[in-house]
Chains A and B, each alone.
Chain A
Amino acid sequence: RKEVEQDPGPFNVPEGATVAFNCTYSNSASQSFFWYRQDCRKEPKLLMSVYSSGNEDGRFTAQLNRASQYISLLIRDSKLSDSATYLCVVIGGFSSGSARQLTFGSGTQLTVLP
């Protein structure tokens, strides 16, 4: 099993739709979680951190479910400009032999259609 797994894409949704992505992680000792957005041929940029109590930023809501070991990202009233790849990042708790503590998911591609 991969350390971090994301919903396979692509997600194609109409403008105005609500869409949700999940990201599961294997190690219950993981400590910090983030969602990044990556536009085509660009670098990833932080979208939002994920807090234990859940957090909202405008149309975006991030949640953490420690019991089931996943984080989620909900986008409401999706816009054409939301089209991008969304990457989850999990920090801490992994023992991969290299002492690296940060793992990226492979990303979920979202296309918002007019």
Chain B
Amino acid sequence: DGGITQSPKYLFRKEGQNVTLSCEQNLNHDAMYWYRQDPGQGLRLIYYSQIVNDFQKGDIAEGYSVSREKKESFPLTVTSAQKNPTAFYLCASSLGTGRQYFGPGTRLTVT
């Protein structure tokens, strides 16, 4: 089946620890995105990548880092510098700038 996978579904971490969220797609899409969603809020763009080995900051990139070494993979690291990391993280991909396909998301809780 083609699609986007994110793992894990739920993640718990202690404050001060870095954590990496996985995102893999087998849709052969060039573009991939990371969003953050807080309760009752819309999606806010963290980072996006349009081609391998290149990525751009979104609106709320501070405290996050990404890599795009392979077309299929776009991992997101939430660093200890992120002040409020507890949120629902969504990865998406698209062919160009068209319709986006979303993964099931990762709920990160930092205590």
A residues with CB within 8 A of B: 32, 34, 41-46, 49, 87, 89, 91-92, 96, 98-102, 104-107
A101 vs B45: C-alpha distance when bound (angstroms)? 11
B13-63 contacts to A, CB under 8 A, are 35, 41-43, 45, 48, 56-59
Given contacts A34-B99, A91-B97, contact A98 B56 (CB under 8 A): yes
B residues with CB within 8 A of A: 35, 41-43, 45, 48, 56-59, 88, 90, 94, 97-105, 107
A99 vs B88: C-alpha distance when bound (angstroms)? 24
* Pairwise interchain contact A43-B90, C-beta atoms closer than 8 A: yes
* Pairwise interchain contact A107-B45, C-beta atoms closer than 8 A: no
Given contacts A49-B99, A98-B56, contact A87 B105 (CB under 8 A): no
User: Once A and B bind, how many residue pairs between them come within 8 Å at the CB atom?
Assistant: 46
Residue in contact with A42 in the complex, picked from B43, B58, B104, CB distance below 8 Å: B104
Residue of A nearest to B90 (CB): A43
* Pairwise interchain contact B102-A45, C-beta atoms closer than 8 A: yes
Q: Which residues of A contact B48 (CB under 8 A)?
A: 100
Q: Can you list 17 residue pairs at the A/B interface with Cβ under 8 Å?
A: A41-B88, A42-B104, A43-B90, A43-B104, A44-B102, A91-B97, A96-B59, A98-B56, A98-B58, A100-B45, A100-B48, A100-B58, A102-B97, A102-B100, A104-B43, A106-B41, A107-B42
Known A106-B41, A107-B42; further 4 A-B contacts with Cβ < 8 A = A87-B42, A87-B43, A91-B98, A105-B42
Q: Which residues of B contact A91 (CB under 8 A)?
A: 97-98
Q: Which residues of A contact B43 (CB under 8 A)?
A: 44, 87, 104
Q: Which residues of A contact B59 (CB under 8 A)?
A: 96, 98
* Pairwise interchain contact B98-A106, C-beta atoms closer than 8 A: no
A105 vs B37: C-alpha distance when bound (angstroms)? 12
Q: Which residues of A contact B99 (CB under 8 A)?
A: 34, 46, 49
